[in-house]
Structure 1
Amino acid sequence: MQSDQFERQQQAAEAQWHREQRVAELNRRRDGYMQVNASFRRYRTHLMNFLWTVHKGAVTPDAREVVEDARRDHHSVFAEAQMIASAAVLIELDGMTTALSEVYRRIMCLEEGNPDQDGSFNEIRTDFVRLWERWERMRAVMRADIGLGSDAGAPSAIEP
């Protein structure tokens, strides 16, 4: 009888440990997703501002450094997110990073006076609309991954 009680206590303790691990993992992903989301937004905003600076012909070393700082921050936060993201979120992160890198490249080519054939200011500006749409998809996948999908009655990611 005492061994049965001990076994039940062990099982309860193990179940509690597993719940705590799921909650801790969910918190790590949530925090990482918040950081990468903020980093993507910051980088996108600085790229957009830099595009306008290029368009006005007012590029300075300081303006370029702001973009490069945002880019470095994005790469650092993205690297951290790669270690905690689910497979579905990682696909979105990779796609968003690729899209941002392409917009960065197109803006730099325009700034250097060697734009892509479809790399005018207005054409690059439309890239930001696509980035926003992609960001909304990425954010939705992140939210779903941590149990915050669009359905109010959706089960929590920390339920057993």
Structure 2
Amino acid sequence: MELSSVIIAVAGVAGTLGGAVLTQRGSERAKRREIELVRGHEEIRENLSLRRSCYVELNRDARQFTTALNRHLHVMRERGVDDADTDALEAAKNAHRDQYSEAQMTAPDEVLARASAVNRALNKAYGQVKRLERGEPDPGETMETAARAQYEVWDLLRAMRAAMRHDLGVSPDREGRPPVGT
């Protein structure tokens, strides 16, 4: 009888200790999953913040480049272009180029397609403006065609901005699909 009491006692202690160990391991696994979940949410938030910053700067710099092209065309019509005018246009172009380069590494394909369209249109208008400024326009290029090319960028900018806002979950896309994550 004593042996069975000892066996029962040992089994009880082992069960109690084993239960505590299993409970602790389960708790550790749950804590690890919770930490992984928090890290995942932090990554998502950080990625969203990075895209938002990139989009704000790309939108701003593309708009400023468009405005600088418009101003440059007006200066060319009203008076001759001086170094300060050229420097202002080049600064706007370079800021846009740098921000577009960042977007190429950050933006998803849908946003990047819109940003690429804006970039191509801006570079096309810039090329026309610079050829006109040098007095060496391509056939058919005039101040009016350059102004029209610059003006058409605004529609592309609106489409780019809409794609960015949709990606950030701020507004529906052009087809009315709800923002991502809703």
TM-score after normalising by structure 1: 0.89
Mark the runs of 5 or more structure 1 residues left unpaired by the alignment.
none
Q: Which moved more, 1:148-157 or 1:115-124?
A: 148-157
- Quick check: which one's helix share is greater? 2
CA distance in 2, matches of 1:150, 1:134: 17
Report how far residue 101 of structure 1 moved.
0.5
Task: State the partner residue of 1:143.
Answer: 165
Which among 43, 52, 56 is matched to residue 34 of structure 1? 56
Task: State the partner residue of 2:112.
Answer: 90
Which among 40, 47, 54 is matched to residue 18 of structure 1? 40
CA distance in 1, matches of 2:105, 2:96: 15
Mark the runs of 5 or more structure 2 residues left unpaired by the alignment.
1-22
CA distance in 2, matches of 1:78, 1:155: 23
CA distance in 1, matches of 2:97, 2:177: 35
Cα pair distance change 1:111/1:85, threshold 3 Å: same
Alignment length, in residue pairs? Answer: 158
Task: State the partner residue of 1:121.
Answer: 143
Give, as a single letter, the amino acid of the residue that structure 2 aligns with 1:129.
Y
8 Å CA contact retained: 2:48, 2:168:
yes
Report how far residue 95 of structure 1 moved.
1.7
Secondary structure, aligned partner of 1:117: coil
8 Å CA contact retained: 1:47, 1:104:
yes
Give, as a single letter, the amino acid of the residue that structure 1 aligns with 2:132.
L
Task: State the partner residue of 2:28.
Answer: 6
CA distance in 1, matches of 2:133, 2:115: 27
CA distance in 1, matches of 2:65, 2:177: 34
CA distance in 2, matches of 1:122, 1:135: 20
Q: Identity, % of aligned pairs?
A: 26
8 Å CA contact retained: 2:168, 2:179:
no
TM-score after normalising by structure 2: 0.79
8 Å CA contact retained: 1:148, 1:154:
no
Q: Give the greater-gyration-radius structure (CA).
A: 2
Give, as a single letter, the amino acid of the residue that structure 1 aligns with 2:163.
V
RMSD (Å) for aligned C-alpha atoms? 2.0
Report how far residue 135 of structure 1 moved.
0.4
CA distance in 1, matches of 2:90, 2:177: 42
CA distance in 2, matches of 1:153, 1:74: 29
